[in-house]
Chains A and B, each alone.
Chain A
């Protein structure tokens, strides 16, 4: 089969698979998030956890639970890593340094999974499975829980209650993430992903050299790493490592997994607000941006655009695996940076200026196409609110979305949401570039070096976790600064989203009139796409001009 046809087929097969899961998965999520019935196992969990499964929380109570759970998680993980040398299955790994432990704990709790460390030389098996992988489950569920509260803001009226965080969290883990991960982990093992508790052991190779083979419960972590858009690799090379991603089928499956929940959630949204067309409009925007991005990156990589090294080598294979090649690597790179996943099957630092620059731009859009589990949908709903508001300004009437008026209060929360991440990214990158020591952490010099720093802060603040990995980020300064960027980039937006949920829920819906802007038509899809590119994309234009654009035009 020729290369181009095969390349197109893998993209089309992915779109087909995502389309097939849109309705069943979206409907299932809507059902479990609105059901009044608890499973017996869930009642037991509430009793063990000491929480009331029948309570209905105010937005501030919901937020308090999110923050308490996240704070406790950070402290627990931090302690876990600091003490790992005293625990079982540490396979000889030392206690993790304080700054690195802080960075890593924050990273996994915020669903970022930025890694300043190499898994194979830093983390023992117990920390990986009972520390890091646990956060892969719960941080993904927290994102879905928060967007569920926001959707309830639209569906409920004249109430100050937005749901129960503990119930949402438990149901998402128990009824969605856990069963899917179990099945998928076994599919991965059947294809060669390892799952054992071996320590590093040395063997003599075919040519008589020696090589150290690694072990670990990799498949169980790999499944939830993709499904929960976490992206933290068991190994330094992440999904480029053959033990995490042994062949092109597992690669395709991993891309599907990291997209599937994000692309199905608009269905959940449509179903919960009682109008599936609203979900189709949102998913159409996500799909358009994703497809355009796939086209840009694939084209740049296939033709080695503006890459001296690519032309010298006869192809952009630096940092890419032979079993995946350019097409599958580009597909993974786009999908992982448009979600908050951040897993990589190839190394973006070596991508063409246009391809690598696009991965940065993908994250800058706020990870909404389709975005992280839950966080992508609340991100795009906030942008939809802004789009409706802008349309309202054009015709001079009070804007409303799904029957809820968008007054000063709602727009303030939406604006704060949109301003938070760019502020963190630009201030963070600016400070790093102003400090000579931190600037020196760049592996490449000039415009590409700046892109490494810009990528790091964009990735951290948007909770992505991938990197232009040449940057030596395992320093006290970067661990602290990026840790703070991840914390603020995760929880400030959540505060605004939940405040928005509370504000919307308290309203009495207004009836639809002839003057109401329809939000399910192609017109709105175009409007929302435009708002995303202009409002969010343009914020970063000066920074992009100094990095990838300057490099591409040299």
Chain B
């Protein structure tokens, strides 16, 4: 072994490098490949992002929120503000990417608890939601006027879902009772009954809504 003739500092670092490479192979290559192999065999749907389909086509993931906006008048105009489409249940405000719900740009607003910008946004959103859904501004719940941590939150509170029922039913020409029943079917209780908060998954709810006929 030539290494015996090297100064101890060099020998020490050479051993460190060799150990790092060994651990890279074990924990950086073998481990993730093994997990991926088992995951793909045992839970392929989950491992691939819980994708949801409509008419045979993938239309997103049930874990990632989406925008439900009207088509832009001029799709090439970045300045044209997006307008929510009244025939869909609307998700929470999002700070992911310029137009929201961009999974390549997950983000929170990071505005402080006393930020003037945030207070103004909250008030504007409250007024906008109340006008859009024709409800009393006091009845708009907190999740409807605040952006989530990921900007990809697929859920809203049951309160916000019920608050949107009348408007969705009216726009679609459905009876409010039918839409309300659909929401009730989509309310998920806390995990194991006590973890987290009750919620309604907007993606699944809107997919079910599209299937109503």
Contacts and interface: CB of A to CB of B under 8 A. Distances in A.
Interface of A: 1, 3, 5-6, 9-10, 13, 45, 48-51, 64-65, 68-69, 71-73, 76, 118, 120-121, 129-131, 133-134, 137-138, 166, 169, 173-174, 178, 181-182, 185-186, 189-198, 200, 203-209, 211-215, 217, 219-221, 224, 235-237, 240-243, 246-249, 251-252, 306-310, 312-325, 328-329, 344-347, 349-353, 356, 443-444, 448, 468-470, 551, 554
A234 B109 CA distance: 19
Given A309-B114, A322-B156, 19 more contacts: A3-B197, A45-B22, A121-B104, A134-B23, A186-B35, A196-B49, A198-B48, A198-B49, A235-B106, A248-B191, A309-B119, A313-B142, A316-B113, A318-B108, A318-B118, A319-B146, A322-B157, A347-B109, A350-B108
B49 A137 contact: no
Given A206-B206, A319-B148, A217 B197 contact: no
Contacts of B32: 129-130, 133, 195, 217, 220-221
A303 B189 CA distance: 23
A134 B27 contact: yes
B18 A50 contact: yes
Nearest to B96: A237
A321 B64 contact: no
A536 B157 CA distance: 41
Nearest to B11: A50
17 contacts: A72-B16, A121-B104, A131-B28, A178-B31, A192-B50, A205-B60, A206-B88, A217-B32, A217-B35, A235-B150, A237-B152, A240-B150, A318-B147, A322-B143, A323-B196, A350-B109, A351-B113
B57 A204 contact: yes
Contacts of A309: 111-115, 118-119, 122
Contact of A138 (B23, B48, B68, B119): B23
Chain B interface mostly: mixed
A16 to B, nearest CB: 13
B203 interface: yes
Given A68-B12, A71-B16, A321-B153, A191 B113 contact: no
A200 B151 CA distance: 18
B43 interface: yes
B53 to A, nearest CB: 10
Contacts of B128: none
B114 A205 contact: no
B197 A322 contact: yes
B164 interface: no
Nearest to B203: A206
Interface string B38-67: 111011001111110010011111011011
Interface string B77-106: 000000001001000100010000111111
B194 to A, nearest CB: 4
B16 A318 contact: no
A308 B66 CA distance: 29
Given A220-B35, A221-B32, A320 B149 contact: yes
B104 A212 contact: yes
Q: How large is the interface on B (under 10, 10 to 19, 20 to 34, 35 or more residues)?
A: 35 or more
Contact of A69 (B20, B54, B110, B194): B20
B210 A206 contact: yes
Given A131-B28, A192-B50, A321 B150 contact: yes
A212 B103 contact: yes
B195 interface: yes
A71 B203 CA distance: 47
Contacts of B152: 237, 241-242
B40 A76 contact: no
B175 interface: no
A347 B147 CA distance: 11
A196 B19 contact: no
A468 B110 contact: yes
A312 B111 CA distance: 14
Contact of B59 (A195, A205, A350): A205
Nearest to B18: A49
Contact of A130 (B24, B105, B106, B126): B24
A242 B103 CA distance: 10
Contacts of A194: 46-49
Contacts of A351: 113
B27 A322 contact: no
A323 B18 contact: no
B60 A248 contact: no
Given A206-B210, A219-B39, A350-B111, A191 B148 contact: no
